[in-house]
Amino acid sequence: MLKLGWTSHRNPRGSHDPHRRHRRSLLRRARGGDDAAFGELAGLYLDLTCEVLYLNGFTSQTDRLRYAEMILLRLWKFLPYTRRLSDFERFLALHLQQHRAPLRNRLADDNHRLLAKLHPAQKFLIVAREFDNWTHRALRFALHASCADIRESLLKVRCHLLRVNFELLPTHEKRLLRALNLDLEGALSSRASRRLQKSLAAAEPIRRFKADWLTRRCELIELRQDMRLPADLQLSFLHQLRSRLRHQPMVRPGWITSLVTHLTFARLPQQALGGQRV
């Protein structure tokens, strides 16, 4: 039986952001009404926003820009309720899962077709993890899920994108595939990873899964370029966003709610998310 070894520091794909402290600083300034700080913060999440909106059916740049602006203005309006950067990311994740458009035309790209069939939370997960390198910790707060649930969801998404029915696999292949998924997530120690590679030598279907996934991931990165906005369009969008912020007053919590938000992000007004639960 394959024995797994865990590590708390190995993460070959890096962290969510090496300058997360800078993002927290921008959020603190923005909560005080600094529209320039919010504009800079919004720019750091614009790629993610456009990528998820694209998978949610907003394939035209015009539609993505319109909904991105609407979401970011809503985040600005209720920004005083977000004490922590994880609150801001949770708020953004909820909004991105909420906005979906029906696909009007048959999708030509196979990867796009498969991605379009995912659940909204799965779309956010695969974009944040594979396209934007969010850590499990950041995903855990944004999706209100455990790290184990996140890894399990990533395994299901990978199986879906490779058209593999996990439930039909033999037990030993399921065990190896779960271990491979952990290795892809950087959750195995170096020793456990080497043991896994030896075990895969006698498991051709799982070796093929790994090779197919690495190929599919490269294809997804190519698709990502269609989802993002060109640099000049991003700049003009953020400039326009800042001008809109000046005419959008913030909604500030009462003192009791303000105290509660020091502990938990669970006191947003109903209108902040259209009645959706935080």
Q: Answer with the residue of higher pLDDT: 211 or 106.
A: 211
Q: How is residue 166 annotated by DSSP?
A: G
Q: Is residue 12 one of the residues assigned to a domain?
A: no
Is residue 1 situated within a structural domain? no
Percent of the chain with pLDDT over 70: 82
pLDDT tens per residue across span 126-148: 999 999 999 999 999 999 899 99
**pTM of the predicted model as reported, rounded to 2 decimal places:** 0.84
**Any domain includes 196:** yes
The structural domain count of the chain equals 1
Look up the domain containing 110 and give its range: 20-272
Q: Mean pLDDT across the chain, nearest whole number? A: 85
Q: Is the pLDDT of residue 26 over 90?
A: yes
pLDDT band at 113 (very low <50, low <70, confident <90, very high): confident
3 assigned to some structural domain: no
pLDDT of residue 2: 42
Give me the phi and psi of 145, to 5 degrees please. Answer: -135, 155
Rounded distance between C-alpha atoms, residue 250 and residue 81, angstroms: 10
State whether residue 12 is helix, strand or coil. coil
Position 85 in a domain: yes
- Which DSSP letter does residue 80 get? G
Question: Cα–Cα distance between 271 and 29 in angstroms, integer?
Answer: 24
Specify if 8 maps to a domain: no
